[in-house]
Amino acid sequence: MGHRCCSKQKVKRGLWSPEEDEKLIRYITAHGHGSWSSVPKLAGLQRCGKSCRLRWINYLRPELKRGSFSAQEEQSIIDVHRILGNRWAQIAKHLPGRTDNEVKNFWNSCIKKKLISQGLDPKTHNLISSHQRNTSNKVVCSLPQPHQQPFPVFTVNQQMTDDASMEVNRLPPFVTLPPLPPTQPSLQQTMAIPNSEYQNPNPVWTAKDQSSQYTISFPCGSSIGSTPIISSSSSSSVNPFGFGFLDENLIWNAHVEPLEGPRLEQVQTHQYQDQHDQQKNKINIGEMGNDHEQKCGQDIDVSFDSSSFDLEFVESTLLSGAICRDLSSMDDLAWNF
């Protein structure tokens, strides 16, 4: 029985033999893959095109790096995963010679367990309390409900503001909450950022620099779309992604604002390179601390549509100062949550 995608054909399944590999390599090296659906026939293989594609991408490509992951690669995966979640293809882009499948397998078979053994929730990278760990590995989010506090307001300690470099700390992303307004029920001062808040950042986060006019907006969850603006006048705040640098004068405003058409269009119509170049000029979060003085007066206004959140854009924008440039520099980035 063949695949659904090629049920008409009699296709082989299961592991690839060296002969099949040889045929596929020989064909693609000579002709390129072109349309994958035609590859098996042309290469003389009894496989479906999808299978050939997978075999080539995940195993046969000459640029693939084989062998076990290095400690640096492992750390990179952890760091990027904390930001992107299970976006294996995106994560793999940061690891030359590694495939999404490989990264995914490595995560599931190795890193996940390692994090759990360290008391960290592999999904959120937050610390799992002993109680939570004891309850069949189910992680209970300790975040307040939206009606209590629609957005956590984060502060960054002074050490952070003193250090121009940005680090994604290996520690779980804990944040310190400022005192809540009197009308709000009291909450813990320290809490973990929930998965949905930093990995799937639907809420619109707006960063404003009082002295300059920096405004950076990120999409927020629709569930809190009608919530009022909550802003903090505390010394500085950090965005929910776990990256970005904010100067002491910066305020992160967590509020929902309807995306303006032109803005959205601007974001969506830019190609990756344009985005990258543009953002290099406009925002370099990683360097914001250093360049803050020089960049005063520059407008930064980036919004995202929650339904078309562009991870590459975010990466190019927010990771340009760190991950994209050199994954090893993650070690130099210090977030104090």
Partner DNA sequence: AAGGATGACAACCGCTGTCCT
Partner DNA sequence: AAGGACAGCGGTTGTCATCCT
Q: Which residue ranges make up the site for DNA (CB under 7 A)? A: 3-4, 12-16, 33-38, 47, 49-51, 53-55, 57-59, 68, 86-90, 100-102, 104-106, 108-110, 113
Is the Cβ of residue 90 or residue 132 nearer to DNA in the bound state? 90
In angstroms, what is the minimal distance from the CB of 190 to DNA? 28
- Residues paired with 300 in a beta bridge: 214
Is the Cβ of residue 12 or residue 170 nearer to DNA in the bound state? 12
Is the Cβ of residue 57 or residue 296 nearer to DNA in the bound state? 57
CA distances from 129 to 174, 192, 237 (A): 13, 11, 25
Which residue type sits at 123? K
Q: If we measure between CA atoms, which residue out of 169, 173, 168 comes closest to residue 337?
A: 173
In angstroms, what is the minimal distance from the CB of 141 to DNA? 18
DSSP string, 166-201: ----SS--EEEPPPPPTTSPP--SEEEPPHHHHTS-
Is the Cβ of residue 91 or residue 160 nearer to DNA in the bound state? 91
In angstroms, what is the minimal distance from the CB of 48 to DNA? 8
Residue with tokens 């305020």: 251
| HSE toward the beta carbon, residue 304, CA cutoff 13 A | 24
In angstroms, what is the minimal distance from the CB of 145 to DNA? 25
Contacts of 105 (CB under 8 A, 6+ apart): none
Which residue type sits at 104? K
Strand ranges for 172-295 from DSSP E: 174-176, 190-192, 205-209, 213-217, 230-231, 250-254
Is the Cβ of residue 81 or residue 292 nearer to DNA in the bound state? 81
Is the Cβ of residue 50 or residue 280 nearer to DNA in the bound state? 50
In angstroms, what is the minimal distance from the CB of 317 to DNA? 18
In angstroms, what is the minimal distance from the CB of 36 to DNA? 3
Structure tokens at 29: 């090296």
- Residues paired with 252 in a beta bridge: 207
Is the Cβ of residue 38 or residue 186 nearer to DNA in the bound state? 38
Q: C-alpha angle with apex 326: 194 to 114, nearest 5 degrees?
A: 45
DSSP string, 58-90: III-TTPPPSPPPHHHHHHHHHHHHHH-S-HHH
Determine which helix (DSSP H) or strand (DSSP E) holds 281, and give its type and residue range. helix 272-282
In angstroms, what is the minimal distance from the CB of 277 to DNA? 20
| HSE toward the beta carbon, residue 262, CA cutoff 13 A | 1
Is the Cβ of residue 3 or residue 133 nearer to DNA in the bound state? 3
In angstroms, what is the minimal distance from the CB of 59 to DNA? 5
Is the Cβ of residue 54 or residue 296 nearer to DNA in the bound state? 54
Tell me if 177 sits within 8 A of 143, measured CB to CB: no
In angstroms, what is the minimal distance from the CB of 212 to DNA? 34
